[in-house]
Structure 1
């Protein structure tokens, strides 16, 4: 079984099949075919595909392996065909090669390695859809179809460092009301001026609680709109807030703290994308110590935000290459990713056996 060769071949095929979020049916079929060719039974719901490494045992804990097979659209800066897998100078180029094709095929390779081996835990591989848009038909749609897990290992490009915490995201629509009037006669109450007071507060606003791994929760005003014509005092000013929430808060708690400091009418678009952190007594942290892995708190979103169980994020590739023109992953990063995931799971299995 040549895990590396199979992983590179699968990644090459994935690159050459367009799989924008909500349009991943062909890559879902490819992943199904990969499992079928290796006599691994798989399941599909929407464009999400999953498989069990062996018969499920209710007496064992469960570990999820998860990464996504959707991509963003290529940006205008590409000089290479984003759907042509090209190998140059030890790099494999192509859209989704780094985010998250590389981590995905390495997780699948590790899963294949452990298939039908005797493990002290159930192992499930989940290739999810719509991760790039945190879509409702992605991993969130299959959580209820899967057994609960004690740990989810989420494959994203992290240089094989381990994110043990991840910021959540809350987008808030804000409205400030005034009173319309003729600009020349100094009538009305200008909603723009009223909104300025809130915007000044937002500019200097600091949330009270600070996270050990993720630092401060941050709010930024990112969009603003008011008025329709030059001679009418606007009676409404609308703006959008982007709030990156650490594990020190739930989204609901962060919203209430912010709401108490502003006069605008605030409405969160969603409370789905929660922050996460690994409990301090979780076995994965003993694995981290034993393997000498570097840990950090991630400012970027992944399917971790939608998984309601303890999770970590780790994988080959570099987050800085994600969504960039001429995206690539080093071939030796794929080798290291496969070996790293296998070592991670073997170490977890050994420690789990020692503690039970």
Structure 2
């Protein structure tokens, strides 16, 4: 008799054109693993079908709605899901994408998110420097690269002196500081900013800072893959000036396109530099200044990185297998998981 495959309910729905590529690549990598069935999220799947493990990514998205009534309905459904998980003792695996709860959420949402956290069996962290609560079980699985995702997307020739930022624009990503710092750069430098701002006010602020400087190109909208690759590949340096940077898909996207990045200096980015090479991951101590941008460009011109950054540890076949291993670990009794965690590991998925 053939054993029933392990059924995993993911917290994301079927992918759409605007879906985070990380989610799409993760789903594909898991589906390629033997003896696993992946189920994407719908309330019908979550409440009425059978599955062995729940994998949460950004659980706050389950609680949101376009209207207050729709949000309330989804929050009531989430409460029912929590009750089902508790009664059936379904293991919950949680990928820690963000360190804090989202800003601006209400008490009901905060309560539900706290309950999801309390029911979590095993956390997946994307780097070894992610803090987890005392006594919490966790496994490190690196964020996969984007090389296959962008493989067939046309690239543009690199432009000397071109700086670039791409990705969703939120206040903590500090794009305003990049535009301010760039304004003092020499005339032969240029800057391209692409991505959808989180609010109209933020878009207006960035446009105001750029003013009539024709060296600055703004594409303040959701980027297609072609637009993103065009911006990144034309750049001599991708600058991601986040005030807080812990897990950055934008950094990996730039490195997957063989472009060096300038990022804040912290323990996560120092570890990434050791992994892929210092010449690919340039770091600065805040605040970001014109001198920092000018000096980094000068260093790149004098000694550009050669070859490609080493992203071999981020192959999606490795990432997919590590996720399935985490699901099977979460299914074991707590005592067995503790023994497994204490035993020598033949292979680690970490920096």
TM-score range, shorter chain: under 0.3
Relative contact order, higher structure (CA 8 A, sep 6+): 1
Say which structure is richer in strand: 1
User: For the pair shown, which has the larger CA radius of gyration, 1 or 2?
Assistant: 1
> TM-score, normalized by length of structure 2?
0.24
> TM-score, normalized by length of structure 1?
0.23
